[in-house]
Structure 1
C-alpha cells in the first residue's frame, strides 16, 4: 500500500520537524528522545529477546531459543545424507533437532583449506557443535572450534536451519557472542551459489565483523562495517528482498545494496571456520561462539 500525504491544512507546521525526526530515528535505528531503543529492521525489535511472529512482508518459519532439549557433543554426526538439499539431515540427531537442523558433514574441507592456506580446517560437527544452558541458565548453541595439539587441521563447523534451505528471499536474524576469542578462527555466515554471495556477519573472532555483498555475475564487492568486537552480544539481521539486501546490527541498518542481488533459492549457512587472513590457529588452541536464538522468515504473504 502506498504512502499518501495528507492535505497541508490538516497538519500544523509545528508538527513537521518532530515527525521528521521520528521517521529518521526509525530508519536509522537511533535512540528516541525518551532513551528507548528504536529498531530499523522489519520486526522493529527493541529488546534482546527472540522476536516472535510475522514482520511486515516476512512470515516467521524458524524461532529457536535453544531452551528445550540439550544436544551433547557427538550428536551432530552422520550428516552426509541428501547433503546440500532441503532434505539433508544428521542421523545422529533426534527429535526436533533432527527435523530442524543440518550441518556440513565430517570431512568436508573449509574455505581456508580449499584456498591452500598453511593452516586450514575440516568440518567436524560431531565435536564442535552442542546445545545446552550457559552459566546463566540460558540455552545456547555452542560452536567450539579447535586445532589439535598435534598441529592438524582446525575442526570447523557450519550449521543450517533446514526450514530456510533452498529458499529465495527472507529475513535471517540471530543473537551471538564470541565467549572465547582466539587468533585464527572466524565466521562467514552466508547465502551463496550460482555466482552470487552475501556474507554477514563475517570476520575473524579476535577482531570485528562486517557485511559483504558480492554481485551475481561478478563485479566489485560492497563492504559495510558492522561491529568492532565479537565478544559483546549482538543481534545481527539480513533482509533479502527482490532487488535489495539490507544488513542490521542491534537494530541499526549498517548498509544496503541493490547491485546483482540474487533472485534464486539459496541456503542460509551459519559457517564458522579457520581464518582466511592473518596468522593461523595455533596447535592446541580453541575458540567459542555462542548463539542464544535464531529467527528466520520467508518473504511474501502466506
Structure 2
C-alpha cells in the first residue's frame, strides 16, 4: 500500500538534505558517555521567566483514548520517569548534549542552550526521554511547548524506536533553528523516503503539538486541530518512545542553521506538560 499524504503544506519526493542523516540528528542515546572528569562548565546565563502557557494539563481519558502518562513538571527536579542524555550527537560536531542543561523551573521542563568554553565555545543543549517507562506501539501524544528565538538552536519533539535502532522515527514537531515561523512534522519510515510536512505559526509562543498514531495512520495536530495526515503501510508498527530535545548544528549544513552573532547567550526550549494515551 502506498503512503498517502493529506493536508496543507506537505511535501513528498526525494529525501531532503536535512533528512538524509536522521539518525545523526535525533539519536538521543548513542552518544559517548563522558569520562570521569569532564571539561569545566561555565555558569549558565539566567533563564528567562516561564510565562503561563494558557492551557492546563489534560486530566483523564478522551473519546477513543485512555490516558497512561502525564507530567506537568511541577516538582523541584526532573522526576525519575525521564532520563537526560549526554554526549555528542552522531554526525553533528557542532552539538553536544549535557544533563546540566536540563532543569525543571517555574512549572516547566527547560532545556537550555548556551556556549560552553570547555566545549570550544560551542552551544551545548540537552534532551530527555521516557523510554524506560513508556514505550508502546500506537498512541496519542500531546506536548505543550514553546522555543526561544535563536539562530542555529533547533528543537525536536519526536518518537524514537524502543529498540534504539533507526529507522523508523516520527518527528511530531521540529524546526531547523531559523526564525520559529514554521513547525515541521516528519516521518522517517523503515522503507522508502522521508515524508515532511510543515505548518506556519509563531512557535516562540505556547502551542500544543500532537500526534495520533494508529495502524497505518498518523494524524499530526496543532492546538487540538489536525493539520496533516499520513496513511499507508510505511507508518511504523513497532514500540516507540518520546524524546524532547534541542540541538546546536554545525555550520555548512544544508537545512539546519548554525549559531551566529545574532544567537542570544541562552536559548531555551520550554515544555509545560506532556500527556500520553493508548487506544481505548
Is the 8 Å Cα contact of residues 155 and 269 (structure 2) preserved in structure 1? no
Separation of aligned partners in 1, 2:189 and 2:272: 31
- Please state whether the residue corresponding to 2:240 is helix, strand or coil: coil
Is the 8 Å Cα contact of residues 111 and 245 (structure 2) preserved in structure 1? no
Greater fraction helix: 1
2:211 matches 1:204: no
Is the 8 Å Cα contact of residues 164 and 296 (structure 1) preserved in structure 2? no
Q: Which among 78, 86, 91 is matched to residue 115 of structure 1?
A: 91
2:202 matches 1:223: no
Separation of aligned partners in 1, 2:219 and 2:256: 28
Offset of 1:269 from its aligned partner? Answer: 1.1
Separation of aligned partners in 1, 2:129 and 2:256: 27
Match of 1:62 in 2: 69
Offset of 1:249 from its aligned partner? Answer: 0.6
2:91 matches 1:102: no
Q: Deviations over 1:219-243 (max 9, x none)?
A: 2x22222333221110111111111
Separation of aligned partners in 2, 1:211 and 1:176: 15
Q: Which among 193, 211, 221 is matched to residue 238 of structure 1?
A: 211
Name the structure, 1 or 2, with higher relative contact order (CA <8 Å, separation 6+).
Answer: 2
Separation of aligned partners in 2, 1:62 and 1:209: 25
2:22 matches 1:50: no
Is the 8 Å Cα contact of residues 195 and 218 (structure 1) preserved in structure 2? no
TM-score, normalising length: structure 1: 0.64
Separation of aligned partners in 2, 1:200 and 1:257: 12
What is the count of residue pairs matched by the alignment? 214
Is the 8 Å Cα contact of residues 145 and 288 (structure 1) preserved in structure 2? yes
Offset of 1:121 from its aligned partner? Answer: 1.1
- Please say which structure displays the higher CA radius of gyration: 1
Separation of aligned partners in 1, 2:115 and 2:176: 15
Unaligned runs of 5+ in 1: 1-27, 29-46, 72-92, 134-138
- Please state whether the residue corresponding to 1:267 is helix, strand or coil: strand
Q: Deviations over 1:67-124 (max 9, x none)?
A: 2x212xxxxxxxxxxxxxxxxxxxxx6xxx11x21122x2x222xxx2355xx11110
Q: Which among 241, 263, 268 is matched to residue 242 of structure 2?
A: 268
Which structure 1 residue ranges, 4+ long, deviate > 4 Å from structure 2? none
- Please state whether the residue corresponding to 1:122 is helix, strand or coil: coil
